[in-house]
Structure 1
Amino acid sequence: MEKIKTSSQSWTIQENVVQPDIINVNSDAHGGNLTYIADTVAGICFARHNEQGGVTAAVDNFNYIRSIPMGNLFTAQACITGTGKRSAEVFVMITGEDLVKQEKYLAATAFYTYVSTSPQGQEVPQIKADSDLAERLMAGYPERRQARLQARHAQKEFEAFLNQYLT
């Protein structure tokens, strides 16, 4: 029997304050640090949904929308937006918040693909939307999945080309 979970069952949220150890030369959160945090939150979300471990297979469309200055709060949120037999797509949204001005803003978004590392070959549970946001995000999954499959094919051809230059 196929296991189905709702989007809220794996929703993951992590809050942080931009501290000096994660800033760039402009005193904003460094993009690499945001990517690391996004991958961590996406991994937790996938493990929560899958009830087992998994690994990052791809990161698609990491969009840096607005910088997050030092001292601002930022929140990374992740939810499952589509599933295959052994994989799932995880959407990550990072928002910033100026606590002094009481202003929230969208800072970054990304789609991750995680693959299950279950040695038993257990399938990833299917996903069902239980909010308007999840429903909207899930609606685009088939097109994103198709685009990823086409990109993966092109990547394999490119890898074959690059392999001839390895020393």
Structure 2
Amino acid sequence: MEDIDSAIVKFNSLAEKAELQPDNYILLGESAGGHLALLYGYSHPERVKKIISLSGPTDFYSPEYLHSFYSKYSSPTIQKVVGTKFNRKNLSEEFRKASPIANVSNVPTLLFQGNRDFLVNQKQGLALDSALTAQNVAHKFIYMDRTGHAPRFFNKLKRDSIIYPNILEWIRE
């Protein structure tokens, strides 16, 4: 989070010279980067214009996450980031605070989620979609059939027909 903040501070300092609009950025991230884009954007809505998350985890507190392959794979890293031990039976409040779904704010959000994602359970994207809808946050949820994790590894046809056109449309809106 500090790295994103430092980058935005640097971009803002160069805004006039680089013809940028300060605090008017679109954050895009894939997988863990999608999580960071969501968490930073929702925590700093005054600095972020839009968010694009591709296969990003959204809820480290949900039963689906706690019993997923991804939690077993990612919990050592997440507990370092959160600063507290990951204990499935007695989960710290810090893990909820690190979940984008618990920090939703009014930042327009584009979400991509594959229905065959073996790392980030499809319910993660569906849950954030529901939370954004309930809070009337402008968003678009692209639920991709027969699709796994990490769009950069998708075939060219899927990237060219689903990923890129939706990102470009979202940026232009």
Name the structure with the higher strand share.
Answer: 1
Q: Give the greater-gyration-radius structure (CA).
A: 1
TM-score, scaled to structure 2: 0.27
TM-score, scaled to structure 1: 0.28
Q: Which has the higher contact order (CA 8 A, sep 6+)?
A: 1
